[in-house]
Amino acid sequence: MEYFGGQITKLIEQLSRLPGVGAKTAQRLAFHIISMPEEQTEILSKAIVDAKRNTHYCTKCHTLTDGDLCFICKNPKRDSSTIMVVENPRDMAAYERTQKYKGLYHVLHGAISPMLGIGPSEIKLKELIQRFQNEDIKEVIISTSSTLEGETTAMYISKLLKPIGMKVTRIASGVPVGGDIEYIDEVTLLRALEGRTEI
């Protein structure tokens, strides 16, 4: 039912499609956008369009960036002998907030889930293996979520890398089973990272 006219209703509907945005939050955001000065709404809409058009995967770690390489892969001070494997860019951002991990990352963009039809070829595993041909990597830290899919992915990666003599570690269980890494506080993430075990 339209209470505010077609344009506002359409805006509310579009905002409510965003993850974590319910009907009330979408309505509040829509009213805020409508009350903003027009130049601010133009800046906001341009930022959304520009981000969508110009964002792509880093050619090395596959996180989101607007250049060929992300700022982490470009940083010569990072430890290039250690790679942390994460499921998505949000997990990488969570580790970066700890300001303690100094290695590089590899973003899988998902996890193996046979029930959902997601196999190894649907995530960035082939690209991870290719990195071993071009880089001098000594340790791979697997930091997938403690879900069934995350554990399956971790074991799959371990079975791929162990035969070639790679040191493969898994973050410690300070991360609760079934928990998503992006929602875990920095202290818990840091303890999990420091308490990682070889698998």
CATH number, domain at 98? 3.40.1360.10
What's the pLDDT score for residue 95? 92
> Under 8 Å CB-to-CB from 30, ≥6 apart: which residues?
8, 11, 12, 15
Highest mean pLDDT among 2-6, 77-81, 135-139, 171-175: 77-81
Would you give the DSSP letter of residue 138?
A: -
Query: Is 41 or 197 the better-scoring residue by pLDDT?
Result: 41
Would you give the DSSP letter of residue 122?
A: G
What's the pLDDT score for residue 56? 93
Q: Could you tell me the residue range of the domain that residue 37 belongs to?
A: 6-54
From the CB of residue 27, how many other CB atoms can be counted at a distance below 10 Å?
A: 19
Model confidence at 36: pLDDT above 70: yes
Residue 137 falls within a domain, yes or no?
yes
Q: How far is CA 43 from CA 51, 96, 159, in A?
A: 12, 28, 48
Same domain? 80 vs 118: yes
End-to-end CA distance of the chain: 55
Residue closest to 26 by CA, chosen among 48, 7, 11, 6: 11
Residue 30 falls within a domain, yes or no?
yes
What's the pLDDT score for residue 1? 47
91-119 pLDDT, tens digit per residue, is 999 999 988 899 999 999 999 998 888 98
Say which CATH number the domain at 47 has.
Answer: 1.10.8.420
Domains contained in the chain, number: 2
- Chain-centroid distance of CA 10 in Å reads 30
Contact 153, 146 (CB under 8 A): no
From the CB of residue 22, how many other CB atoms can be counted at a distance below 10 Å?
A: 11
Tell me the percentage of the chain whose pLDDT exceeds 90.
58
Same domain? 46 vs 133: no
Same domain? 14 vs 89: no
Name the CA radius of gyration of the chain, rounded: 20
Residue closest to 187 by CA, chosen among 95, 58, 115, 67: 95
Same domain? 171 vs 88: yes
Contact 105, 86 (CB under 8 A): yes
